[in-house]
């Protein structure tokens, strides 16, 4: 794994592309959603890391006392929005969905990837609500584009 500073530099210098916005999706018919072709923004990357650094990075950013990170596998999303690099830990199932979107995929395939990952999680009953919440977050973060962007 590259170190976190290299990841931030790569994302900062990632290619520009127009982010998919919620307002552009409002006119889609119900029948169009499964075939909607989208992909992960070129200035967004997923990193599988061996150390849980999310709390460490937040403490440093906020100027708080920090502790050494715990060695535990983690998945981190790093992206650029408005010339700033952002990061956050991925939720269960989110990595599979965004990995599917990396090379461009239809919305149905992205949802299937997410559902497959979450099927094994106990207590997941509102899959449509989870997909809606994640899609809303991805659009807000600006990490999706149309496939041909």
Number of neighbouring beta carbons within 10 Å of residue 50:
11
Q: Give 17's Cβ-side CA count (13 Å radius).
A: 22
Give all domains of the chain, ordered by start, each with its CATH number.
Answer: 4-144 (3.90.930.50)
The answer to whether residues 8 and 126 touch, using CB atoms and an 8 Å cutoff, is no
In this prediction, residue 12 carries a pLDDT of: 56
Two structure tokens written together for 107? 């919305």
The answer to whether residues 149 and 17 touch, using CB atoms and an 8 Å cutoff, is yes
List average pLDDT for each run of 10 residues in the chain, which is 149 residues long.
Answer: 57 67 90 93 86 77 84 84 84 92 94 87 79 94 83
């Amino acid at each position: 794994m590259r170190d976190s500073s290299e990841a931030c530099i790569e994302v900062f210098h990632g290619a520009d592309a127009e982010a998919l916005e919620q307002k552009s999706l409002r006119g889609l018919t119900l029948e169009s959603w499964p075939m909607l072709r989208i992909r992960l923004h070129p200035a967004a990357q997923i990193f599988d890391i061996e150390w849980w650094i999310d709390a460490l990075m937040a403490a440093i950013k906020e100027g708080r006392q920090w502790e050494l990170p715990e060695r535990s596998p983690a998945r981190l999303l790093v992206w650029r929005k408005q010339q700033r690099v952002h990061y956050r830990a991925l939720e269960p199932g989110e990595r599979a969905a965004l990995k599917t979107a990396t090379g461009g995929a239809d919305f149905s395939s992205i949802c299937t990837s997410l559902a497959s990952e979450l099927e094994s999680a106990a207590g997941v009953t509102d899959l449509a609500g989870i997909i809606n919440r994640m899609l809303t977050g991805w659009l807000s973060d600006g990490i999706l584009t149309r496939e041909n962007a």
